[in-house]
Structure 1
């Protein structure tokens, strides 16, 4: 069985009419998974409630408390507010973001029990830096999960593989000072947020940035995986691999110019499975609803 960590509560982070990071992203994925012929082999789980696990001790390890106060303040204003033009904060966003962190921590817990998991949560997180959210992201879910994992028995090294089409500037910001965590990002360049140069390798050589030219097809990713991603992660020898699974590198996606197909993510998933004894996936971007659902199905079909 593959664990799916999901709650309808994640739909309550409201981004406004026409915003690409919308609640319908999750409902499209849920519908696609329930329609899959192997859908009965998915075990659906609610994230750990905030009343049972407070994620703030883990969040404050890497996020500035003043930023958290700002986020909470914006959510408490009538009608909410915004961190920037792309990153709205609705009245429920703060609590939903905390619950999303718990879902990613649950992903670690499932992986430690050798149960593959997919965290189907929003808001996404890989653009959130220590001091500010941006690019649709409020809290650094993947980075927080990596630090949480290192506190668990038997976990000494954690790798984060980010195949979202945008560079995870926030994730890199939150992990690059920790040599026990490595970060690998494949991302379109040039593109938002303008970071992720190949020469940027982190403070401990623990970062691998792979800029991908616009209009690239799957063979470009295949070459990058064979020549760079797999050797980098194999040398690091992680005890846990976290996949920041964004699907905006799809040809149908409106926010980027990479030309992957949903089935390509099945091949990428097959290649990374041997790289760590434990792994889980957490949703980042992906904004064409039919293609997003199909790509998540393709990813999970490999695990099922």
Structure 2
């Protein structure tokens, strides 16, 4: 069985009808997975509740406690905006904590079994820096999950971010840690304007690969084979965390890269060639059909491999 960590609670982070990062993203993915011929091989796993395991102490190692408290208070007041792109509703803080728990559950499962998992959670996280959320993101899920993995006994953790936007928050948080490697493929120029190829981290542990608008799988595959695979293989991670954004699809409204949903099966295969210990966690992806088919391609490849 292939575990997908999901809760209907993730639908309670309400962003407004016209916001691209909306609950319908998860609903569409669930529907698409449930009609696949291999749907019976999916184990839908409820994340550990915040009451059973509060992630706050771990989050406070990554994020400024004053920022965390400000988000909590804003949600308690009925919601608002962290920035122009990043709204909060009354339940958003609780949902963000549960999303962190889902990522931690994915890490625990994969470390214990040596097999991949998928975290179908929101809000996303890779733009959130230590003291501020932005770009639809509240808490830095991937960075928090990587630190958790180190606490659980992993010696080295790799993070691969294939979202079309650079994971500026993830990089800023992990680039000082020699036991975490970060690699990002992202459209450039594009929001948030970070991720230059010259940025290599404090321990040569960062690899940024800016992509041009219109790039296709023919542009991505040589980078996987000549850059990403050697970089991560040399790092020898005990766990690979994938910030799995699906907004590099040709049909996505928020960027200009021209991937197809099936291309994410190719990306997934490269990851599994490195290690079976892969945690895929949802980031972006805003065309519901392309997003859903891309997640299907990711999980189908995990089941095939």
TM-score bin (small chain): over 0.9
Deviations 1:76-109 (A, max 9, x none): 113x111011000110000000000000000101
Contact kept in structure 2, 1:146 and 1:181, CA below 8 Å: yes
Deviates most, 219-228 or 268-277: 268-277
Query: In the aligned structure 2, how far is the partner of 1:179 from the partner of 1:2?
Result: 31
TM-score (norm 2): 0.98
Query: In the aligned structure 2, how far is the partner of 1:120 from the partner of 1:134?
Result: 20
**Which residue is equivalent to 1:285?**
284
Map residues 20-39 of structure 1 onto 2, 5 A cutoff. Answer: 20-39=20-39
Shift of 1:115: 3.1
Contact kept in structure 1, 2:127 and 2:134, CA below 8 Å: yes
Map residues 40-59 of structure 1 onto 2, 5 A cutoff. Answer: 40-59=40-59
Secondary structure of the structure 2 residue equivalent to 1:262: coil
**Which residue is equivalent to 2:188?**
189
Map residues 96-245 of structure 1 onto 2, 5 A cutoff. Answer: 96-112=95-111, 113-153=113-153, 155-245=154-244
**Which residue is equivalent to 1:94?**
93
Deviations 1:46-77 (A, max 9, x none): 00001111101110011000100110111011
Query: In the aligned structure 1, how far is the partner of 2:211 from the partner of 2:58?
Result: 33
Secondary structure of the structure 1 residue equivalent to 2:62: coil
Contact kept in structure 1, 2:246 and 2:284, CA below 8 Å: yes
Give the root-mean-square deviation of aligned CA atoms: 0.7
**Which residue is equivalent to 1:259?**
258
Query: In the aligned structure 1, how far is the partner of 2:156 from the partner of 2:243?
Result: 17
Deviates most, 95-104 or 109-118: 109-118
Secondary structure of the structure 2 residue equivalent to 1:229: helix
Structure 1 unaligned segments of length 5 or more: list them: none
Query: In the aligned structure 2, how far is the partner of 1:14 from the partner of 1:51?
Result: 22
Contact kept in structure 2, 1:4 and 1:44, CA below 8 Å: yes
**Which residue is equivalent to 1:62?**
62
Query: In the aligned structure 2, how far is the partner of 1:81 from the partner of 1:272?
Result: 38
Contact kept in structure 2, 1:239 and 1:277, CA below 8 Å: no
Query: In the aligned structure 2, how far is the partner of 1:176 from the partner of 1:67?
Result: 21
Shift of 1:277: 4.5
**Which residue is equivalent to 2:71?**
71
Contact kept in structure 2, 1:237 and 1:276, CA below 8 Å: no
Structure 2 unaligned segments of length 5 or more: list them: none
Shift of 1:278: 1.2
Contact kept in structure 1, 2:271 and 2:278, CA below 8 Å: no
Query: In the aligned structure 2, how far is the partner of 1:31 from the partner of 1:60?
Result: 35
Query: In the aligned structure 2, how far is the partner of 1:248 from the partner of 1:55?
Result: 28
Shift of 1:19: 0.2
Deviations 1:211-246 (A, max 9, x none): 000111111110110111001000000000001100
**Which residue is equivalent to 1:11?**
11
Deviations 1:90-134 (A, max 9, x none): 100000000000000001011012232100000000000000000
Runs (4 or more) in structure 1 with deviation over 3 Å come to: none
Contact kept in structure 2, 1:188 and 1:213, CA below 8 Å: yes
Contact kept in structure 1, 2:115 and 2:276, CA below 8 Å: no
The aligned length equals 302
Secondary structure of the structure 2 residue equivalent to 1:28: helix
